[in-house]
Amino acid sequence: MNDAILIDALNRMLSQEHACTIRYATHAAMVTGPYAEAVATRLREISADEVLHAEKLRGRILALGGTPTMAVRAEDLKPAATLADILSINIDEEIDAIKSYTEILNTVPPANVILFQTMQEIIRDEQEHLEELEALRISG
Ligand SMILES: [Fe+2]
Ligand SMILES: [Fe+2]
Summarize pLDDT for 94-137 with one digit per residue, the tens: 999 999 999 999 999 899 999 999 999 999 999 999 999 999 98
Q: What is the mean pLDDT of residues 44-52?
A: 98
CA nearest neighbour of 86 among 49, 48, 35: 35
Distance 1 CA to ligand 2 centre (A): 24
CA of 60 relative to ligand 1 center, distance in Å: 15
* Nearest alpha-carbon partner for 27 in 73, 76, 79: 79
Distances (CA, A) of 53 to 17, 38, 63: 7, 23, 15
pLDDT for residue 139 is more than 80: no
User: Residue 98 Cα, ligand 1 centroid: separation in angstroms?
Assistant: 9
Measured in residues, the chain has a length of 140
Ligand 2 midpoint to CA 35 (Å) = 20
User: What residues have a C-beta under 5 A from ligand 2, the ion?
Assistant: 126, 129
Residue 1: pLDDT over 80: no
Residues bordering ligand 1, an ion, CB closer than 5 Å: 17, 50, 53
CA distance 113 to 133: 30
pLDDT at 140 over 60: no
pLDDT over 70 percentage in the chain: 99
- In order of 13, 31, 43, 131, the CA distances from 87 in angstroms are 21, 10, 10, 11
The structural domains of the chain, with segments of one domain joined by +, span 3-139
CATH number 1.20.1260.10 given to 3-139: yes
Each residue of 51-66: pLDDT tens digit?
A: 999 999 999 999 999 9
pLDDT in tens, 57-96: 999 999 999 999 999 999 999 999 899 999 999 999 999 9
Contacts of 124 (CB under 8 A, 6+ apart): none
| pLDDT of amino acid 35 | 86
Cα 37 to ligand 1 centre (Å): 22
